[in-house]
Chain A
Amino acid sequence: MSEDIARMGQCKGPNRLLDHLRRAWGPFLFMAPATILVLIFFLAPVIIIIGISLTNMSSATGFKNWAWIGLQNYGKIFRNPKSGTIFRNTVFYVLVTLSLFNVGMALVVALLTTHVPRRGGFLFRSLWLLPRITPSVVYIMMWNYIAADAPYGILNRHLLTPLGVKPTNWVPAQPWAFVILTNGFIGASFGMIIFSSAIESIPRDYMIAALVDGCSLWQRIRYVILPMIRWPLLFVTTYQTLSLLTSFEYILLLTDGQFNTEVWSLWAYHRALNNYWGNFQWGFGAALATILVIVGIVMAVVYMRYFQFTELVQEPRIEAL
């Protein structure tokens, strides 16, 4: 026995080191590309953006002559008269789009497509997925044409003129309506797919039990379906809040922030990277973005907590390497 222990001790030294290396390097090889990309394009940018937000860097100062200015950019944001408006715009845009489309319409379409014959449901779901896979420029042009002034606009030509409404270009006339519609028709598909697969995975027994109990369709939705899909509902709500808050591609293409449709993320983008005057205020824009980044991180962490991260993660059932 003592001899055994001695022998074990012998093979422990170098073996353990080798073993350790293999255990450390094996997974590292798998993880390396992803890790490097995350470091370069997530971690570094977060640090950079916070750093830049503390400087006066702009196309006027260039990359050489800038200076640290502490929290002055944040002070400027709070004093800027536009901040209040843009903040209100952002909240308005997120809340209305989310409730009407990303959750509301998504749920309606999901419920409808799961209660009609399968092929019909599938067709409509595909149609609703179309906007998401359409190039954004084409998609926005389509809406521009729907809203365009007479004689070109579809809305004017086929609906409003016959009703006797005076034609106009409806994007400037009703900018928020169209910002919300364009984003909403894309946003709805995400929730729709998740909700409909959640509804379809409700055990049939519940549905049949509800039928046996004599539930009407409405009662079935209210007392069976909605309670059973409350997790997907919550997930879509939080996830989509975050993505609406920070995405601006379609607003950029539709109004470019004109007609008072500037939202926070677009404001940051305009100030820092893309504006008519070529005066890029990287410091100020970075401060605007930093605020969103902080909101994003906080929400993402809360969201992770809420959705019980630990339960999603199974432990590997192989320990060898």
Chain B
Amino acid sequence: MDETMGVGGRGRAILLLTVLAVLTVPIVVGYLWVIISTFSQRTYGLIPVDANGHPGGLTLRNWSFLWKDAAIWRVTVNTFVLAVGLTVGIVVVSSLAGYALSRISFPGRRPFLATTLVLHAFPSVTLLIAIYFVLRWITHIPVVGRGIPVIGGFGYNTLGGVILVSVALELPLGVWLMKGFFDQVPWDIERAALIDGCSRLRVWWEIMLPLIKPGIAALSIFSFISGWNSFLIPYTFMTSQEKSTIATYLRSLLSDTAPVNYSTVAAVGLFQLIPVMIFFLFTQEYLLNIFSGGVKGGS
């Protein structure tokens, strides 16, 4: 007997696992190839081969970009700044708004909630064209536009601008999730804190945030991964090479006019994927939670 909800013999479990395995083949094969190819001169299918097409040709040369191409570290730092910026932005803004929407009765609360929910389902990519104009406009604002160190500012063709857009577009999801997590905190605890002498801001900071740590962790992981991976927004709104992120750098490797060295591209890809994978391994349970948690709030 298996320990899941189903009942049935060991035989059936094996049958079902086999079906699952077959369905999952493309995923496994794809990632297998990524790993193999980064250590090969080239690959024929999944088989590493040398320049003449004979099996063999294992090499570390594909990884030489790590020490030969200074650009990779620059784009890595950019990507990291983007991911961290997105995470911090999302967590701060949505935990503030989520708290108010979940816990405070104020005029306009219901319209706010309805808006959040509509935006939650709203296809934000359709707005990229208009956001382009908004960013160009922000660029003209002194200092804020393009005069801030590290992130460059919040205008067009700055890291800050990309962070801001990403935060905004992920905000409805974040707010809705945070609201869901705040909803679960017992009212009596907050009441006790108010009676003990807290203002609402203090309750939020000293009592509520510590209590929804798992939710914050989940949202942070989710945001970090999505920032680390994000392609479309940096690709659309950052044109200069030196500000690009790993994803756009990768894209530029692929679309260069010179013949593409796929093994190198795969290595850069794996380089981008590794932190996410490690992250994922340790936090997959949180992530699985966020998706299902999001639905409890959203359905």
Q: What is the interface of chain A, defined by CB distance below 8 A to chain B? A: 23-24, 26-31, 33-35, 37-38, 40-42, 44-46, 48-49, 52, 105, 108-109, 112-118, 120-121, 124-131, 133-139, 141-143, 145-146, 151-154, 156-158, 181, 185, 190, 193-194, 197, 199-200, 202, 204, 207, 211, 217, 231-232, 235, 238-239, 242-243, 245-249, 252-253, 265, 268-269, 272-274, 282, 285-286, 289, 292-293, 296-297, 299-301, 303-304, 307, 309, 312-321
Contacts and interface: CB of A to CB of B under 8 A. Distances in A.
Contacts of A286: 129-130
A283 to B, nearest CB: 10
Query: How big is chain B's contact interface, by range?
Result: 35 or more
A45 B127 contact: yes
A317 B93 CA distance: 23
Contact of A52 (B106, B114, B133): B133
A149 to B, nearest CB: 11
Interface string B7-19: 1100011001101
B97 interface: yes
Contact of B269 (A137, A158, A307): A137
Contact of B27 (A46, A127, A138, A243): A127
Interface stretch (B43-51, B62-70, B145-153, B212-220): B43-51
Nearest to B236: A273
A157 B45 contact: yes
Contacts of A152: 42-45, 262
B183 A217 contact: no
27 contacts: A24-B106, A26-B104, A28-B106, A33-B92, A38-B168, A38-B171, A41-B131, A45-B134, A48-B134, A115-B13, A116-B4, A117-B2, A127-B24, A127-B28, A135-B250, A135-B272, A137-B250, A138-B272, A138-B273, A141-B34, A143-B30, A154-B45, A157-B47, A272-B132, A309-B114, A316-B103, A318-B191
B3 interface: yes
B33 interface: yes
A194 B299 CA distance: 10
A312 B24 CA distance: 36
Contacts of B126: 49, 246, 265, 268, 289, 292-293, 296
Interface of B: 2-8, 12-13, 16-17, 19-21, 23-24, 26-31, 33-34, 37, 42-47, 53, 92-94, 96-97, 99-107, 109-110, 112-115, 117-134, 164-165, 167-169, 171, 175, 183, 187, 190-191, 194, 200-201, 204, 225, 228-229, 231-232, 236, 246-247, 250-251, 254, 262, 265-266, 269-270, 272-273, 276-277, 280, 284, 287-288, 291-292, 295, 297-299
A120 B76 CA distance: 35
Instruction: Output the residue of B104, B129, B187 with the most chain A CB within 10 A.
Output: B129
Contact of B200 (A109, A145, A321): A321
Nearest to A142: B30
A133 B27 contact: no
A12 B106 CA distance: 20
Nearest to A308: B299
Contact of A313 (B92, B110, B269): B110
